[in-house]
Every structure is written in C-alpha cells, then in structure tokens.
C-alpha cells in the first residue's frame, strides 16, 4: 500500500473533499471552495495532494479544471484493510483459545487440590 494514500487520507479536509466528490463529481475547485470555510487556494492544495495519491483525477474543460474521484485506490485500500483485519482476527482467536485453555487448566488444578 502506498504511503501517499495514507498521508492524503490522514487529513480530515481531504476526506471531506473525497466524500464530496463521491457524491457528485466532477467539480471545480471554485465549486468545492464554496462549500468549505477555506480559500480556493487551500482547496487546490488539498486537491493536489489527493491527485498525487491517485485518489483524484483532473480534466481540463476550457479554462476550468474539473476534479473527479478515482475509486480504484480506495478499493485497493479496502482490500488491504480486510487482509490486516483477518490476520488480527486469527491472532485474537488464538489468544482467546490460549486463555480459555489456561483458565480450564487452572480450574482443573484448583479442583484437584480441593479434593486432596
């Protein structure tokens, strides 16, 4: 998994921009800036980072640049998260089994000493 994707998604404003573009794109930086309390220049900086991470594409239409969500990297990220989650689920299940076995052995040992 590419580090630029994680860096891009680490910022709450960039996540908001991605959601905005997912709901309806393409949009210009000016259209996006009207929806947030930051300048058009600030929006452009965020869009540039999203573009470098491969999460946004830019299409020139006349004098305007229109930004669209690129969902493929998010699909790859989702798959990676599922793989990591599955590994942790396996580890937690092994830990649970180990603890249950240790507890059962302790109870058996305690029961045996009570009988003696």
**CATH number for the domain that contains residue 59:** 1.10.10.10
Our count of domains for the chain comes to 2
At 41 the pLDDT is 94
At 86 the pLDDT is 82
- Tokens standing for 23? 């709901």
Together in a domain, 8 and 36: yes
Q: Are 28 and 64 in contact (CB under 8 A)?
A: yes
Q: What is the rounded CA–CA span in Å between residue 43 and residue 86?
A: 36
Together in a domain, 61 and 77: no
At 34 the pLDDT is 92
Together in a domain, 90 and 103: yes
pTM above 0.85, yes or no: no
Q: Are 54 and 68 in contact (CB under 8 A)?
A: no
At 50 the pLDDT is 95
Q: What is the rounded CA–CA span in Å between residue 8 and residue 50?
A: 6
Q: Which residues of the chain have pLDDT under 50?
A: none
- The domain of 64 spans 3-70
Whole-number percent of the chain with pLDDT over 70:
94
At 83 the pLDDT is 80
At 13 the pLDDT is 95
């Amino acid at each position: 998994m590419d580090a630029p994707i994680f860096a891009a998604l680490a910022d709450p404003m960039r996540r908001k921009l991605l959601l905005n573009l997912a709901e309806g794109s393409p949009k210009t930086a000016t259209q996006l800036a009207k929806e947030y309390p930051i300048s058009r220049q600030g929006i452009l900086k965020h869009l540039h980072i999203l573009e470098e991470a491969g999460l946004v594409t830019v299409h020139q239409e006349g004098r305007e640049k229109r930004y669209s969500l690129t969902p493929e990297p998010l699909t790859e990220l989702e798959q990676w998260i599922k793989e990591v989650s599955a590994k942790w689920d396996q580890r937690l299940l092994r830990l649970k089994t180990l603890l249950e076995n240790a507890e059962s052995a302790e109870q058996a040992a305690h029961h045996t000493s009570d009988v003696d």
